[in-house]
């Protein structure tokens, strides 16, 4: 995807088995002032690099926060303990290392729970469990060592350059049980510097990719409790860069329960809000850097459809007509790429694998739905100097 984004000066690819060493070599060449991870494994690789390369420790702490809190950031249960000590509202959470601890949990709290496996992301490693038997079976599945054949599948079929990276295991992974809180998901993305919050964007989920997946349509909200929690955690953990907090807004009471921290960029940092601007611009200003490209106009709708997820996962949603569609109209090559299967799934080996297995792939946006949306907007006329759908590039899609 990044190869289709205009304006990037250079891309560095993983090309060796020792990906942490390659990350260190890239940092050596670029000499950045800050490193901004955009997925969980990038955070863990920076934690791993902190242990392996003392010369980059100052940079990594400046980018992520105080190193003494890295174990807390990596552990869902430790994060909940820290939040509770700060007086934040969190569900009961407990580490479980053997079946007897799981059965003890359900003897004391027979209601449904959520089992979470550290070192996972994107809704993976999170499962709702309704009984001790279900929870024990899930724990055994989570903690089963990954086979070499599975790693090869991730590398060859999925094109995952970190398929053989063992850093997450070295840093420690555990399983926890968390009391289930019925309600609707919400989250907040925060820009911060050395424990100081520079700005935040809070949303409630309108549509998601399944029960534990990412949001596809969100609604802006102002929740002082969520913001105060972000300020407290940023100060306690000395966080820098971007992070996100996941909440459940409890049904019936409307109280926000903090359930997770994502120590990386999430999906909201580029949105320009009236009277506030965007989180990326705030961090640039704090570092004395220019924002670069021309700023977008502030969005006027309070509901936002994330592209391409909203059109792919919820094409019939009645909310789409009232949303701000977060489509990068000035990047036609990116739009074309997002209207296709992912690069990994388009490769011959992946297509053969999915056909033989009969496995389902993530949906892609309907071209017809996109064209209907594009025809209703004047902004697509900036693409290649003509309305979307009229040029040879769009026919090729």
* Distance between start and end Cα atoms, the chain: 16
Q: How far apart are CA 170 and CA 49, in angstroms?
A: 12
pLDDT at residue 196 greater than cutoff 90: yes
HSE at residue 304, side-chain half, CA atoms within 13 A, is 24
Are 31 and 124 within one domain?
A: no
Mean pLDDT, the chain, rounded, equals: 86
CA 281, 282, 286: angle at the middle one, nearest 5? 115
Residue finishing a domain among 25, 44, 64: 64
| pTM score | 0.87
Question: Structural domain of residue 261, as residue ranges?
Answer: 181-318
Residue 73, domain member (yes or no): no
pLDDT at residue 20 greater than cutoff 70: yes
Q: Is 173 or 212 the better-scoring residue by pLDDT?
A: 173
Task: Return the structure tokens found at 124.
Answer: 């993976």
Q: So what's the pLDDT on residue 122? A: 66
Q: So what's the pLDDT on residue 295? A: 63
Per-residue pLDDT reduced to its tens digit, 231-280: 999 999 999 999 999 999 999 999 999 999 999 998 889 999 988 889 99
Residue 87, domain member (yes or no): no
Decide: helix, strand or coil at residue 247: strand
Are 253 and 175 within one domain?
A: no
Q: So what's the pLDDT on residue 378? A: 59
Are 258 and 383 within one domain?
A: no
CA 345, 349, 352: angle at the middle one, nearest 5? 90
How many structural domains is the chain composed of? Answer: 4
pLDDT at residue 382 greater than cutoff 80: no
Give the mean pLDDT of 376-396.
53
What pairs with residue 288 in β-bridges? Answer: none
pLDDT band at 395 (very low <50, low <70, confident <90, very high): very low
Q: Is 93 or 359 the better-scoring residue by pLDDT?
A: 93
Per-residue pLDDT reduced to its tens digit, 211-231: 667 889 999 998 888 999 999
């Amino acid at each position: 995807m990044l190869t289709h984004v205009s304006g990037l000066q250079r891309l560095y690819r993983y090309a060796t088995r020792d990906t942490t060493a390659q990350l260190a070599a890239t940092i050596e060449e670029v000499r950045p002032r800050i490193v901004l991870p955009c997925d969980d494994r990038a955070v863990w690789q920076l934690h791993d690099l902190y242990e392996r390369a003392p010369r980059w420790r100052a940079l990594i702490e400046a980018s992520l926060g105080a190193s003494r809190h890295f174990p807390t950031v990596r552990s869902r249960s430790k994060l909940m303990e820290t939040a509770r000590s700060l007086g934040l509202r969190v569900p009961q959470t407990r580490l479980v290392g053997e079946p007897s601890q799981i059965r003890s949990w359900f003897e004391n709290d027979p209601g449904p729970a959520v089992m979470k496996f550290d070192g996972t992301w994107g809704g993976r490693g999170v499962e709702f469990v309704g009984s001790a038997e279900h929870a024990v079976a899930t724990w055994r599945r989570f903690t089963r060592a990954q086979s070499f054949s599975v790693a090869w599948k991730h590398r060859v079929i999925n094109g995952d350059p970190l398929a053989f990276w063992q850093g997450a295991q070295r840093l420690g992974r555990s399983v926890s049980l968390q009391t289930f809180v019925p309600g609707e998901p919400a989250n907040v993305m925060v820009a911060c510097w050395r424990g100081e919050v520079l700005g935040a964007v809070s949303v409630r989920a309108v549509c998601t990719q399944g029960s534990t997946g990412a949001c596809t349509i969100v609604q802006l909200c102002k929740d002082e409790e969520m913001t105060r929690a972000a300020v407290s955690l940023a100060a306690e953990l000395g966080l820098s860069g971007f992070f996100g907090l996941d909440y459940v807004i409890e049904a019936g009471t409307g109280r926000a329960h903090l359930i997770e921290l994502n120590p990386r960029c999430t999906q909201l940092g580029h949105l320009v809000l009236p009277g506030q601007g965007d989180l990326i611009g705030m961090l640039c200003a704090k570092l004395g850097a220019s924002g670069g490209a021309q700023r977008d106009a502030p969005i006027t709708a309070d509901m936002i459809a994330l592209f391409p997820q909203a059109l792919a996962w919820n094409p019939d949603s009645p909310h789409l007509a009232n949303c701000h569609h977060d489509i990068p109209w000035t990047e036609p090559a990116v739009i074309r790429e997002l209207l296709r299967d992912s690069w990994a799934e388009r490769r011959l080996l992946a297509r053969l694998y999915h056909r033989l297995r009969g496995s389902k792939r993530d949906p892609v946006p309907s071209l017809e739905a996109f064209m209907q949306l594009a025809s209703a907007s004047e902004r697509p006329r900036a693409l290649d100097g003509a309305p979307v759908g009229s040029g040879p590039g769009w026919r090729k899609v």
